[in-house]
Amino acid sequence: MRYGHRYPFTSDAKRRYRFYDSIELVKLIEENEFYELIIKRAKERIIGTLRGEITDPEDPSYPDPEFFRKALGREFDGVEEYSEDFLDKKSKRALSYRDAEILSFALVKLILSCLRDNYLIRRFALREAEYSKKKLEEEREEILVKVAEELGVEIERTNGKYLLHFTSFVKYATKIRGTQEDFTWRLVNRDLNRGFLTLTKSELIRLLQEAIREKIESELPLNVGKDVCNHINFIIDEMRDEIEEFREKIFEDVGEFEESALPPCIENLFRMALEGKNLPHASRFALTSFLLSIGMNVDEIVSIYRNSPDFDEEKTRYQVRHINGATGTKYTPPSCETMKVYGDCLRSKVCGSAKHPLQVYRKLKRSKVFERDRSS
C-alpha cells in the first residue's frame, strides 16, 4: 500500500530518501530521470503557495494531462525495498513518477529552508494542508485511517462514523476557532461518552487538515548548509521575482501609524494589550509583527505591553527586537488564514476579500485620508 506521493509528509514518502542527508538528496534529485518534472512540480508548489492553490497533476484540467495520466497509470516501478547496492549508491535504478511528487515536496522544503522566510513557511504549510484535504476527501477509508495514525490521531470506526478521544479533538479543534465552523469545534457543543466523541468523515478530514499544517510547519526550516543552497540557488533565482512581487503586494509601505485604520483582528489585540490582558504567544506575535510592519518602533511596542500582568521589560524588549530582526530574521505578520487558525480572526465587512491584515489596514488608511481631504 503506497500513498506517499499523495501525502509527501508521511513516513511512506520519507522512506524514499531517509538514508540521505540534504546534499545527497539534492544529488539524488539531479540524477533522477524525472529531474525536470521534479523542478517543475517544486515551482508549481511554490507558485501555489503564493497564489492560493497548489495544482494537482491527477486533476484532468492539469496542463499536459496525457503525460500525467500515463505516468499515474503505470505499474509502480519505484524502489519497493532498498537493496544493498542501492544504499551503496552503485545502482542508478530510476524512481517512479510517484517519487517525483515526493521529491518535489522535499525540494521545496530545502528551498524554503535556504530562504528562511517564516511567512512563506507558514503559507506553504497552509496550502499543502489544503491540498491534502482535497486528496483525503476522495480517499478510501484504509488510507484515511493510515494518514490519521501517521499524524498521531487515533481513531476507531463505528456505525459509519469515527470515534476520537477528546484530547486529540481539543488539540486541533481549538485552532479552527474564529471561523464559520466555530460552533462545531467547541467541545461544549459535542456529545461525550467516556471521553470519546464521534466525527463524520468530513469532520475528521477537517481535523486532519490542521494536523497536517502543524506537522509541516513544525519541521521547517531544516538545518541546511551553504553547499545545499548553492546547488539549488538557480531555482531560487528563477522564483525570486515571483516571490518579491508577492511580498511587495502584501508588505508595501503603509506610512505613519493610524490607530483608526487597524483591521478588526489587530484592533482587538491592540485593545486587549492596552487593557492589561494576557495575550497568548501567537496573539502577541501577530500584534507585534504587525505593528513593526506599519512603522512602530521597539520602544513604542514595549510600552503597549506595560499593563500586562506578567510584564517583564527586559524579556519583552528582547522578544520585540527578535521579531524585528535583531538576530538576523525579520518576521512578517501572519495572514488572515493563520489568524483564523489561532482564533484571532474577527472578519467583518471592512475586510472585504483581503487575505492579509496589512491589506485591510492600507485600504482603511486610504479611505481615512480621502475623507480628511474631502472635508478640508
Question: What are the CA-CA distances from residue 84 to residues 19, 88, 90, 314 (Å)?
Answer: 12, 6, 9, 56
Q: Pick the range with the lowest mean pLDDT from 155-159, 162-166, 353-357.
A: 155-159
pLDDT tens-digit profile of 294-339?
Answer: 988 888 898 888 877 677 888 898 899 989 988 777 888 999 989 9
Measured CA to CA in angstroms, residue 369 lies from 254, 264, 295 at distances of 12, 19, 17
Output 114 or 82, whichever has higher pLDDT: 114
Instruction: State mean pLDDT over 333-351.
Output: 90
Q: Where does the pLDDT of residue 61 fall: very low under 50, low under 70, confident under 90, or very high at 90 and above?
A: confident
Picking from 122, 125, 214, 131, the residue whose alpha carbon sits closest to that of residue 168 is 214
pLDDT of 137 reads 94
Strands (E), 230-303: none
pLDDT of residue 251: 54
CA distances from 35 to 28, 29, 187, 296, 304 (A): 9, 6, 47, 46, 52
Pick from 298, 274, 276: which is nearest to 288 by CA? Answer: 298
The confidence score (pLDDT) of residue 78 equals 40
* Cis amide bond preceding 264, omega within 30: no
C-alpha cell at 98: 510517484
- pLDDT for the residue numbered 357: 94
How far apart (Å, rounded) are the C-alpha atoms in residues 351 and 359? 8
Q: Would you list the domain boundaries of the chain?
A: 1-116, 118-220, 252-375
Please say if the pLDDT value at position 63 is more than 80.
no
* 112, 105 contact by CB (below 8 A): no
Residues 167-187: what's their mean pLDDT?
A: 72
Q: What is the pLDDT of residues 11-35, one digit of tens each?
A: 888 887 766 678 888 887 887 767 8
Residue 165's H or E segment, with its range, is strand 161-165
Q: Which of 22-31, 69-78, 247-256 has the lowest mean pLDDT?
A: 69-78
